[in-house]
Copies of this chain bind each other. A is one copy, B any other.
Amino acid sequence: MTWDVLSIIGTIAFAISGAIVAMEEEYDILGVYILGIVTAFGGGAIRNLLIGVPVSALWEQGVLFQVALFAMTIVFLFPNRLLQHWEKWGNFTDAIGLSAFAIQGALYAVNMNHPISAVIVAAVLTGSGGGIVRDILAGRKPLVLRAEIYAFWAIIAGFLIGFKLVNEPFELYILFGLIVLLRVLSYTYKWRLPNRSFKPSTKNESISG
């Protein structure tokens, strides 16, 4: 039940995020649908592949498919003047999708009695896989590899669910809300994990004058 709810939320959120990216790139209506569908189902397809479930199991999700098409149609028809802060909405729907699918992917792997490492990978891939495919098809650098904290929240979800620290439906919903919140805070306040750059330190100390 919780699983189904998270699937629906994640599918709608990712379908909309894909549609938004497609509209930002000025794709036509079919490009909008294709990128939305790929974003909504790409993460699950990659997860199925890696976890050993036939990818064709996706076809049993006919309802989700229709829900995604419906959501994208609404976005496509949405009055222009209501949509002023697209970047924000793109990031926000992506955050909802990330959270819903990371938890859903982790539950999926736990149900199949996979070890904790597989649960974490399932959380990361289901949560970020659709977005990766979306960004590559749109010629962008994948969000998951950009500056602000992203995959880390999926890892946290996989960890908590893999060790059965979060179990009950209401706990899962709280976790869902928390992960969305943490991701939104990450890109709003530009939270970053430590990085080490090895680019040559090009100090342009040229003095002109």
Contact = CB atoms under 8 A, between A and B. Distances in A.
Interface of A: 20, 22-32, 34-35, 45, 49-52, 54-56, 58-59, 62, 65, 76, 80, 83, 86, 114-115, 117-118, 124, 132, 136-139, 141-142, 144-145, 147, 149-152, 155, 192-199
Contacts of A34: 124, 144-145, 151
Contact of A83 (B55, B58, B198): B198
Contacts of A152: 30
A23 B196 contact: yes
B117 A65 contact: yes
Q: How many copies are assembled? A: 3
Given A26-B197, A83-B198, A132-B137, A49 B59 contact: no
B55 A198 contact: no
Given A30-B193, A35-B145, A193-B29, A86 B56 contact: no
A59 B117 CA distance: 9
A131 B182 CA distance: 32
A142 B137 contact: yes
Contacts of A45: 50
A197 to B, nearest CB: 5
A199 B24 contact: yes
Contacts of A24: 197-199
Contacts of A196: 23, 29, 32, 76, 80
Contact of A139 (B56, B65, B141): B141
A151 B30 CA distance: 7
